[in-house]
Structure 1
Amino acid sequence: MTDIFSPAWMQAFAEQWNAEPELADALAKIDFNSVIGYGFEADVNPAGVLTVEAGRVVFAGAYDGQKMNWDLRADREHWQQWKIKGLNMMGLSMAYISRKLQFRLGDYTAMIKDPRMASPFIKSFAVMCRV
């Protein structure tokens, strides 16, 4: 099993992301462009990063100093749990409020209030379950 957020895992995540219409196509409709870091709360930098252009991942791999728009952090146990079970809107809200999921960069409040972004964000956790 490939370690979560390793370069190989990020590549597999990108393939699944791009193959999911409720994620890639939905974000393409709003011309979503972003660099998203994923990592562990105790680390200074994220472990992995996705570069998304017009909803599709164009780069997936290790974080190497890229300027990010989003930096999502949690402990390994919670990432593994969400990777297995996914995350729904209620679970996302609870994870955010309890600081189990941290947004070191990015505007959680603006994202969650915009269904064009919130639904694909939730879908990204379902896509993680496929990796």
Structure 2
Amino acid sequence: MAELFSAEWMEAFGEKWNLEPELADALAKIHFNSVIGYGFEGEANPMGVITVKDGRVVSANTYEGQKLNWDLRAGRQDWHQWISRGLNMMGLSMAYMTRRLQFQVGDYTAMIKDPRMARPFVKSFSVMSKV
């Protein structure tokens, strides 16, 4: 298994993302475009990044200074827990309120209030478990 958020892991995540209708198709309906970074709390930069155009991942790799629309950070144990057990809306809210999941870039409140974005966001954690 590739290291979490490595180039190999990010590429596999992007492929699984594009195969998941509740994620890629749902975001395509709202013409979602974004550059999303994933990493660990306390580090200066995210480790991995995906670029999403019209709901589909068009590139996935390590972070190389790209301008991010979203930058998600958490502790290694938290990431591994969410990947293995999944995350639902209640768990997401708790993770955010307790700062276990941090949005260094991006508006969590706006995203969570829009079910067209919130549901796919939660689904992305179950897709991570398929990598």
CA distance in 2, matches of 1:57, 1:86: 21
1:65-124 CA distances to partner (integer Å, 9 max, x unpaired)? Answer: 000000000010100111101100000000000000000000000000000000000000
Runs (5+) with no aligned partner, structure 2 = none
Q: Which residue of 1 aligns with 2:64?
A: 64
RMSD over aligned Cα, in angstroms?
0.4
Offset, 1:18: 0.1
Partner of 1:2: 2
What is the SS of the residue equivalent to 1:31? coil
TM-superposed deviation, 1:33: 0.1
Deviation of the 1:42 alpha carbon = 1.4
- Provide the identity percentage: 70
Q: What is the distance in 2 between the residues matched to 1:62 and 1:86?
A: 23
Q: How does 1:33-72 map to 2 (within 5 A)?
A: 33-72=33-72
Q: CA separation in 2, counterparts of 1:5 and 1:84?
A: 15
Determine the C-alpha separation between the residues in 1 that align with 2:61 and 2:86: 21
* Superposed counterparts of 1:1-131, under 5 Å: 1-131=1-131
- Separation in 2 of the partners of 1:85 and 1:10? 19
**Partner-residue secondary structure (3-state), 2:61:** strand
- Structure 1 runs (4+) deviating above 2 angstroms are none
TM-score when normalising by structure 1: 0.99
Q: Using structure 2 for the length normalisation, give the TM-score.
A: 0.99
Q: List alignment gaps of at least 5 residues for structure 1.
A: none
Opposite residue 116 of structure 2, the aligned amino acid is R
Letter in 2 for 1:87: L
